[in-house]
């Protein structure tokens, strides 16, 4: 290629603009004026317009391109995006540090990496061979929304990484809206007579989830990165080194992040950030501590859906005073009747609040909350606002006592409150519209019947129009009925109908979980299915026999028996069984299952099945499926593009199974 050719000039312009973007948006140290930058961008646009073959996906002119997306696609996170445990006091932070040192067998101080906890929207971004490839929201931690086009519009997001990054690099971070940009955007919107946003977090979330990336491009979004997802290649030995590596690759990190010494260093950082909070150019709602050494992180591992080596230390909740204008009762999936205070709207914790939970009647009576009271409410981050206490006013004689309704406010069925219990429940079951909506959403969930596309808006319409009275009615719906719903085109209706029909073949554990029996989660449903093998045997089981299931105590057993004895539920289950089928399971005590007592870790991509299907297959054979590798791991199943878990297994001498060996282990043919 001639150094004077249009292709060479375009390449030089792209590199020059990328360098200027890096200095301006990441380093905050521009080398050229806006006018000079605009001239470079204009020349590149003109070159690409005259020579369309020179246009590349990573060109800075392509940050906004294409047409509005009709909907966000689903992205499955190969490495789940976990949550963090929270601390609200210094003692909880000290307890966290103590647990870390005990598990590591350390008496000396642990080095931590501390950083502000941004109040934005978590995302994950994949780079392949240094090229921007995909971006997704956190979603439920396992499945997120594809926002590739929108994140591309953020100017601090490099489209090509610098230096020598790993060939596959997935980075996690937070999209946020700087305070100055938020205030400027609201001023401009108000001048145009348009709606303004309540706070920067809502503005960032709304901007990132625009169906038209060209709208996102007009919003002043920024992004900081702080973690890794899937990586193919070497990983830095500590979190502080990781942040330095991210900056070297052109990825923006929070400038306030630093390495601190022990728990006292953590608490000093927290106090410093609390003092600086109002002057920072972005909103934060706390700080995050992470054990700095990666080898220590791996030794500590994970519990449930959170790492043992990290903690979010939240700032104290914000409080405000307002008036209780009414108390209403809401009905949930399990029939729980919950009192909710309707408040005179008040701005607190970055949002306007008009409702607050009262939890249950015990709380109402303990706090003596009455209609007309002046109350203190508390809101912290995304936590549901709650009534903290009543402000005593002896001269106020218009207070009205709150009483539990005798009948359900939704369906009119009797409301019962167990003696000595805090929670009151509607006895209407599926006949209660409120319970029906929640029960149907649970039934359709990914880990239940997995009916893709059956969301809250659609379920609410189906219930409102009396098209669905029980889960079985879902399977009798026609495409035309679905297409008649609001915001449902013919194609979407056909896709949902196909998803419904596809869910009719399931497994007994999934079916049991989908029924929504109180306190019966996935693990309990699996134990019950293994113990009885068939639904018929479960239906015929006595309360005492249900209590014989491992990990099922008298309370859960009573809930199961009560659910199965309900006439409404028996009728609904009978109707379901006309549509839904599953294979019976061999009745095998958990202790004698082939993989009982073994802990298996999955890493990489399997060609024969999804990660979820592999997990179910292992659990059906009695294995425990863990998220991290340790000396106690029995085996690691390594699919294509296996990452750090495979390396860890090799370092510890843990048995590694290829996909063929794994399929043989679970009794399937490759």
Taking each helix axis as running N to C, give the angle between helix 6-21 and helix 34-50, from 0 to 180 degrees, rounded to the nearest 10. 150
What is the b/e burial string over 637-670, where b = at least 16 CB atoms within 10 angstroms of the residue's CB?
bbbeebbbbbebbeeeebebbebeebbebbeeee
Better-predicted residue by pLDDT, 145 or 173: 173
Measured CA to CA, the distance from residue 321 to residue 390 in angstroms comes to 9
Has residue 77 been placed in a domain? no
Has residue 184 been placed in a domain? yes
How crowded is residue 593: how many other Cβ atoms within 10 Å of its Cβ?
Answer: 17
Q: Looking at residue 66, what is its pLDDT?
A: 40
Task: Calculate the dihedral angle through the C-alpha atoms of 347, 353, 354, 358, rounding to the nearest 10 degrees.
Answer: -130
| 368 pLDDT above the threshold of 70 | yes
**Do 471 and 536 have their domain in common?**
no
- Structural domain ending residue among the three candidates 502, 529, 552: 502
Please calculate the CA angle 439-445-451 and round it to the nearest 5 degrees: 105
Has residue 356 been placed in a domain? yes
How sure is the predictor about 92, in pLDDT bands with cuts at 50, 70 and 90? very high
Better-predicted residue by pLDDT, 623 or 303: 623
Q: What share of the chain is helix, strand, coil (3-state, %, to 5)?
A: 40, 25, 40
Supply the DSSP string of 213-263, one letter for each residue: HHHHTTS--EEEEEEEEEEES---SBHHHHHHHHHHTT----TT-EEEEHH
Q: Looking at residue 101, what is its pLDDT?
A: 94
Q: How many domains does the chain have?
A: 6
**Do 537 and 656 have their domain in common?**
no
Residues 6+ apart with CB under 8 A from 416: 424, 425, 427
* Average pLDDT over the chain, rounded to an integer: 86
- Structural domain ending residue among the three candidates 357, 387, 417: 417
**Do 206 and 279 have their domain in common?**
yes
Closest CA to 135 of 121, 123, 119: 123
Has residue 422 been placed in a domain? no
CATH number for the domain including 454? 1.10.150.20
CB 620 within 8 A of CB 637: no
**Do 565 and 478 have their domain in common?**
no
Please write the tens of the pLDDT for every residue from 270-297.
Answer: 999 988 888 899 989 899 999 999 999 9
Task: Calculate the dihedral angle through the C-alpha atoms of 148, 153, 154, 157, rounding to the nearest 10 degrees.
Answer: 60
| 67 pLDDT above the threshold of 50 | no
**Do 353 and 385 have their domain in common?**
yes
The mean per-residue pLDDT over the stretch 533-561 comes to 90
pLDDT winner (highest mean) among 21-25, 26-30, 329-333, 513-517: 513-517
**Do 160 and 298 have their domain in common?**
yes
Length, in residues, of the chain: 670
Measured CA to CA, the distance from residue 1 to residue 163 in angstroms comes to 24
Please write the tens of the pLDDT for every residue from 390-445.
Answer: 887 655 567 889 999 999 998 898 998 877 677 888 888 777 888 888 889 999 99
**Do 169 and 284 have their domain in common?**
yes
| 306 pLDDT above the threshold of 90 | no
Better-predicted residue by pLDDT, 191 or 198: 191
- Structural domain ending residue among the three candidates 391, 417, 443: 417
How sure is the predictor about 4, in pLDDT bands with cuts at 50, 70 and 90? low
Across 66-75, 200-209, 394-403, 478-487, least confident range: 66-75
Has residue 255 been placed in a domain? yes
Q: Looking at residue 70, what is its pLDDT?
A: 45
Has residue 69 been placed in a domain? no
Q: Which residue range forms the structural domain that includes residue 452?
A: 429-502
The mean per-residue pLDDT over the stretch 81-107 comes to 91
CATH number for the domain including 365? 2.40.50.140
Maximum C-alpha span of the chain: 89
C-alpha pair distances (Å), 96 with each of 92, 106, 110, 222:
6, 14, 11, 31
Measured CA to CA, the distance from residue 88 to residue 386 in angstroms comes to 16
Please write the tens of the pLDDT for every residue from 219-258.
Answer: 999 999 999 999 998 889 999 999 999 999 999 999 999 9
**Do 91 and 236 have their domain in common?**
yes
CATH number for the domain including 632? 3.40.50.10190
Indicate which residue of 117, 252, 290, 648 is catalytic. Answer: 117
**Do 199 and 283 have their domain in common?**
yes
| Helix (H), strand (E), coil (C) string for 346-357 | EEECCEEEEEEE
Is 276 assigned a catalytic role? no
What percentage of the chain carries pLDDT values higher than 70?
92
**Do 602 and 525 have their domain in common?**
no
What percentage of the chain carries pLDDT values higher than 90?
42
Please write the tens of the pLDDT for every residue from 474-486.
Answer: 999 999 999 999 8
Closest CA to 638 of 653, 618, 657, 619: 657
**Do 260 and 305 have their domain in common?**
yes
Q: Looking at residue 450, what is its pLDDT?
A: 92
Has residue 411 been placed in a domain? yes
Q: Looking at residue 63, what is its pLDDT?
A: 61
Has residue 406 been placed in a domain? yes
How sure is the predictor about 313, in pLDDT bands with cuts at 50, 70 and 90? very high
Q: Looking at residue 68, what is its pLDDT?
A: 38
Please write the tens of the pLDDT for every residue from 101-134.
Answer: 999 998 899 999 999 999 888 999 999 999 999 9
**Do 38 and 95 have their domain in common?**
no
């Amino acid at each position: 290629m001639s150094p004077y050719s249009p292709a060479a000039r375009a390449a030089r312009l792209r590199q020059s603009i990328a360098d200027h973007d890096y200095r301006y948006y990441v380093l905050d140290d521009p080398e050229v004026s806006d006018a000079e930058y605009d001239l470079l961008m204009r020349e590149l646009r003109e070159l690409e317009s005259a020579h369309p073959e020179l246009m590349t996906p990573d060109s800075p002119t392509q940050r906004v391109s294409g047409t509005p997306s009709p909907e966000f696609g689903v992205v499955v996170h190969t490495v789940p995006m976990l949550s963090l445990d929270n601390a609200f006091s210094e003692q909880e932070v000290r307890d966290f540090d103590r647990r870390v040192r005990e598990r590591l067998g350390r008496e000396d101080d642990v080095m931590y990496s501390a950083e502000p906890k941004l109040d934005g929207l978590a995302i994950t971004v994949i780079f392949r061979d240094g090229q921007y490839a995909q971006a997704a929201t956190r979603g439920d931690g396992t499945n997120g929304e594809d926002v590739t086009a929108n994140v591309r519009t953020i100017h601090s997001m490099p489209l090509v990484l610098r230096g020598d990054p790993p060939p596959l690099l997935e980075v996690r971070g937070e999209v946020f809206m700087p305070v100055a940009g938020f205030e400027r955007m609201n001023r401009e919107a108000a001048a145009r007579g348009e709606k303004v946003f309540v706070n920067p977090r809502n503005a960032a979330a709304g901007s990132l989830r625009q169906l038209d990336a060209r709208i996102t491009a007009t919003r002043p979004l920024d992004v900081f990165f702080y973690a890794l997802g899937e990586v193919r290649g070497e990983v830095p030995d500590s979190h502080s080194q990781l942040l330095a590596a991210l900056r070297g690759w052109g990825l923006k990190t929070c400038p306030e992040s630093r390495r601190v010494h022990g728990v006292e260093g953590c608490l000093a950082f927290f106090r410093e950030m609390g003092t600086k909070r109002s002057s920072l150019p972005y909103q934060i709602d706390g700080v995050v501590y992470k054990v700095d050494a990666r080898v220590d992180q791996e030794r500590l591992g994970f519990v449930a859906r959170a790492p043992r080596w990290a903690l979010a230390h939240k700032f104290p909740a914000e409080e405000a005073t307002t008036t209780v204008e009414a108390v209403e009762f809401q009905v949930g999936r399990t029939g729980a009747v919950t009192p909710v205070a309707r408040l005179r709207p008040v701005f607190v914790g970055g949002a306007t609040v008009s409702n607050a939970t009262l939890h249950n009647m015990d709380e109402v009576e303990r706090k003596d909350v009455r209609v007309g009271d002046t109350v203190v409410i508390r809101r912290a981050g995304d936590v549901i606002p709650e009534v903290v206490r009543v402000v005593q006013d002896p001269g106020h004689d218009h207070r009205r006592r709150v009483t539990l309704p005798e009948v359900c406010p939704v369906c009119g069925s009797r409301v019962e409150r167990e003696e000595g219990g805090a929670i009151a429940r509607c006895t209407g079951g599926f006949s209660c519209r409120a319970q029906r909506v929640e029960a149907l959403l649970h039934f359709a969930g990914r880990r239940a019947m997995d009916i893709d596309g059956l969301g809250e808006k659609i379920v609410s319409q189906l219930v409102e129009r009396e098209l669905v009275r029980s889960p079985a009615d879902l399977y009798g719906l026609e495409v035309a009925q679905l297409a008649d719903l609001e915001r449902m085109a013919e194609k979407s209706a056909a896709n949902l109908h196909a998803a419904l029909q596809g869910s009719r073949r399931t497994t007994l554990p999934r079916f049991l979980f989908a029924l929504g029996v109180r306190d019966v989660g996935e693990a309990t449903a699996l134990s019950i299915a293994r113990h009885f093998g068939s639904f018929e045997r479960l239906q015929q089981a006595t309360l005492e026999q249900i209590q014989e299931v491992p990990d099922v105590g008298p309370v859960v057993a009573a809930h199961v028996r009560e659910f199965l004895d309900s006439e409404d539920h028996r009728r609904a289950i009978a109707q379901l069984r006309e549509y839904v089928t599953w294979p019976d399971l061999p009745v095998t005590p958990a202790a004698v299952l082939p993989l009982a007592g073994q802990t298996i870790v999955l890493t990489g991509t399997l060609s024969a099945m999804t990660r979820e299907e592999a997990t179910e297959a292992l659990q059906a054979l009695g294995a425990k499926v863990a998220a991290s590798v340790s000396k106690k791991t029995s085996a690691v199943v390594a699919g294509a593009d296996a990452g750090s878990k495979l390396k860890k297994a090799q370092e510890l001498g843990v048995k590694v199974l290829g996909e063929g060996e794994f399929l043989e282990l679970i009794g399937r043919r490759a």
